Structure 1
Amino acid sequence: MKKNFVAINYIDCTEAYRPRFEELFGSRAKAIDTMPGFINMHVLRPAKEGDSYLIVSYWETENAFKDWTKSEAFIKGHQRGFEDLAKAKAEGRPAPMSSSFRTYEVIAE
């Protein structure tokens, strides 16, 4: 059985930042789409208030995912969000969003 690698980014946004976050993904650079080993991605809006957004990306291998996180394309793809975080910090405000990655291996389909 072919095993694939899945990375899930759990994103927590302030209520005020949610529209901006969704705008960023709606107009994303699609830099990830051309990365070697990338298969697909889903951006999931929480159905329940207070839950995290999920960014679920599917990769051929863990190394392909790691290469993405170290790439210029990664920086380009996240540039606007990084700018929002830097602006909040410069203004002495709390970060409007935070994220944490968890990774998985597909064992059944």
Structure 2
Amino acid sequence: MNVYLTSGTYDYLRTIQEDHPEQPVFLMNGEDNTVAYTEGDNIFQEPHVYEVVDQEGTFEHSGYVVMNNIPVTDEGRPLFEDRFKNRAGAIEDSPGFQAIRILRPTQGNTYTVLTLWKDVQSFEDWKNSQAFEKAHKNSGPQSEEKPSYVAGPAYLTKYHVIGEE
């Protein structure tokens, strides 16, 4: 399955959503932009295209999205993907967790680990949990030595899903 993301003004993205009632399109508002997300068929003119490596949960029309964008070396792709396919799954048991998508870019080297939470507090509680610490002990933000598959600094983008009107 593929995932497609595009950005634009809220009004423009809303018209795309309205023009495709047969396909769920999720609008997400960030600090300085609005992004549209859809799974399945591409309906965007200029999408960022990703292949889903792994997934759990259902994407909803409400919640808080955190995207961990991780540049990965070409040689490190299998290792990175294997790490996520064989993860402990602790995030799924976290209160407020709704969905996770591990996304492989079809162009470029930056993978996206997209998580959907009930709200900001649910994400913050996960981030401050022992389960988070355990899951990220060798590769997280506090880790001094980064995994060999990392091709550069990771960065987070955060959004609020805009509910259906």
Length-normalised TM-score, structure 1: 0.79
User: Secondary structure in 2 aligned to 1:105?
Assistant: strand
Q: How does 1:14-25 map to 2 (within 5 A)?
A: 14-25=73-84
More RCO (CA 8 Å, sep 6+): 1
| Corresponding residue SS for 1:81 | coil
Do 1:29 and 1:76's aligned partners in 2 also have CA atoms closer than 8 Å? no
Unpaired runs of 5+ residues, structure 2, are 1-60
Q: Which residue of 1 aligns with 2:103?
A: 44
User: Is 1:11 aligned to residue 66 of structure 2?
Assistant: no
- Aligned residue in 2 for 1:53: 111
Structure with a larger share of its residues in helix: 1
Structure 2: how far apart are the matches of 1:106 and 1:87?
31
Task: Report which of the two structures shows the higher radius of gyration computed on alpha carbons.
Answer: 2
2:12 aligns with none
Output the CA distance in 2 between the equivalents of 1:59 and 1:79. 22
Give the distance between the partners of 1:11 and 1:26, measured in 2 at CA: 16
Aligned length: 100
Give the TM-score taking structure 2 as reference length: 0.54
The structural deviation recorded for 1:78 is 2.1
RMSD of aligned alpha carbons: 2.2
1:69, CA displacement in angstroms? 1.0
Percent identity of the aligned residues?
35
